[in-house]
């Protein structure tokens, strides 16, 4: 049975340790405007054994200090300014200059994802309050650091810690960061046409569970691999692959994948085993069972069927460490 890696190691039983950026306060660092923190247990306990964290606090690193005057976004949703709430000092230009330099530093570290703090004028990813006038505000903005980060690398998996309380969003983010690590490792270590075909082959069911449209498009890219130079081919495939992973999975698409796998067992299973497996898939589709239940049955039967050995090459069956238990809740 795989065990969690020791802190400080560069690899885990599941593969290389992921390198993720994170808002410093989520690790428990007392860098918030009031001198406090927002330590997140899932990140610091659940995910931490598999991750090398790269902490970033835009407001401290730009020179605001701790504790400090709280700031807010003011102006338009599309192009807000970041001002001190009382002094009205404008930190926008300072933060944007800092962000340009910090992004280049992070790019050199080859991050596999980033976790940001919700509602923050600097780090908030969604629905950040923007004061559009003296008497009105709209929760439609994005923090200045979050905006710079996502614009610089649109395919980097980025999420807010608050949204990770949702089981589906948590599972999707975990799936994406491990997929990003596998993809960037493939590009660094191989990057050949033949290697790309192998990469696509083992990710077919994973892609299918996210987006059938991307599944078809990526299949066409691989089918025409011989017409393109490897570097250009990988660039195109990588953009499309990470775009596919950004599409949240659904019960319906998971059921399609589960039925696809079950189809290879039709002639191998006894009638009662077949009935049990189909009922498990049906119950999962109806929301009565978590995904891990039909997957466990499928693994059990596939392991006993020699002609289905190919299935265990599919990343879909084990996309990330089972110790994270995210499929126990979706």
Written as tens digits, the pLDDT of the chain (330 aa) is 334 444 444 666 656 799 999 999 999 999 999 999 999 999 999 999 999 999 999 999 999 999 999 999 999 999 999 999 999 999 999 999 999 999 999 999 999 999 999 999 999 999 999 999 999 999 999 999 999 999 999 999 999 999 999 999 999 999 999 999 999 999 999 999 999 999 999 999 999 999 999 999 999 999 999 999 999 999 999 999 999 999 999 999 999 999 999 999 988 999 999 999 999 999 999 999 999 999 999 999 999 988 888 899 999 999 999 999 999 999
Contact 125, 143 (CB under 8 A): yes
In this structure, are 31 and 131 located in the same domain? yes
C-alpha span between 291 and 302 (Å, rounded): 17
3-state secondary structure of 223: helix
Residue 60's pLDDT is 98
* Owning domain of residue 157: 11-165
Residues 173 and 198 in one domain: yes
Asked if residues 218 and 244 have their Cβ atoms less than 8 Å apart, the reply is yes
Burial class (CB in 10 A: 0-12, 13-18, 19+), 109: exposed
Domain count, the chain: 3
> Residue 8's pLDDT is what?
43
Whether 135 and 45 map to the same domain: the answer is: yes
Domain termination site, one of 219, 246, 273: 246
On whether residue 6 sits in a domain, the answer given is: no
Phi, psi dihedrals of residue 23, rounded to the nearest 5°:
-65, 125
Both 27 and 119 in one domain: the answer is yes
Going by DSSP bridges, is the β-strand pair 128-131/71-75 parallel, antiparallel, or unpaired?
parallel
Statement to judge: residues 153 and 176 lie in one domain: no
Looking at the fold, whether 146 and 213 belong to one and the same domain comes out as no
Exposure of 226 in the CB half-sphere (CA atoms within 13 A): 1
Do 199 and 147 lie in one domain? The reply is: no
Q: Are residues 16 and 152 in the same domain?
A: yes
Q: How far apart are CA 137 and CA 130, in angstroms?
A: 5
Is residue 74 located within the same domain as residue 188? no
Examine residue 3 and state whether it is found in any structural domain, yes or no: no
Which residues, in sequence order, are CB contacts of 231 under 8 Å at separation 6+?
191
Note whether 313 and 236 are same-domain residues. no
184 and 157 housed in the same domain: no
Residue 1, pLDDT score:
30
> Which residues partner with 90 through β-bridges?
83
User: What is the distance between the alpha carbons of residues 146 and 96, in angstroms, rounded to a whole number?
Assistant: 11
Residue 200 near residue 222, CB atoms below 8 Å: yes
- What letter would DSSP give residue 45? I
Look up residue 89 and give its two tokens.
Answer: 């000092």
* Domain assignment present for 2: no
The predicted pLDDT at position 7 comes to: 43
């Amino acid at each position: 049975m795989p065990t969690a890696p020791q802190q400080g190691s560069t690899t885990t039983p599941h593969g290389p340790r992921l390198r993720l950026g994170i808002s410093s306060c989520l690790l428990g660092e007392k860098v918030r405007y009031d001198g406090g923190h927002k330590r997140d247990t899932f990140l610091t306990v659940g995910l931490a054994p598999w991750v090398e964290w790269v902490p970033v606090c835009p407001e401290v690193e730009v020179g605001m200090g701790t504790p400090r005057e709280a700031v807010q976004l003011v102006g338009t949703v599309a192009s807000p300014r970041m001002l001190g709430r009382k002094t009205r000092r404008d930190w926008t230009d300072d933060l944007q200059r800092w962000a340009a330099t910090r992004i280049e530093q992070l790019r050199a570290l080859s991050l596999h994802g980033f976790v940001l703090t919700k509602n923050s004028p600097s780090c908030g990813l969604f629905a950040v309050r923007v004061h559009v006038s003296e008497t009105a505000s709209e929760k439609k903005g994005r923090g200045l650091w979050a905006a710079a980060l996502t614009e610089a690398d649109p395919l980097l998996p980025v999420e807010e810690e608050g949204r990770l309380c949702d089981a589906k969003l948590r599972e999707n983010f975990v799936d994406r960061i491990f997929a990003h690590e596998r993809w960037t490792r493939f590009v660094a270590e191989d990057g050949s046409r033949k290697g790309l075909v192998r990469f696509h082959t083992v990710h077919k069911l994973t892609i299918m569970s996210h987006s059938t449209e991307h599944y078809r498009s990526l299949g066409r890219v691989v089918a025409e691999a011989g017409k393109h130079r490897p570097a250009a081919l990988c660039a195109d495939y990588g953009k499309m692959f990470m775009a596919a992973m950004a599409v949240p999975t659904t019960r319906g698409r998971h059921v399609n994948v589960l039925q696809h796998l079950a189809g290879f067992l039709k002639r191998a299973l006894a009638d009662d085993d077949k009935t049990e497996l189909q009922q498990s898939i049906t119950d999962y589709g109806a929301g009565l069972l978590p995904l891990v239940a039909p997957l466990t049955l499928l693994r059990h039967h596939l392991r006993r069927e020699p002609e289905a050995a190919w299935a265990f090459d599919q990343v879909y069956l084990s996309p990330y460490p089972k110790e994270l238990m995210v499929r126990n809740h979706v």
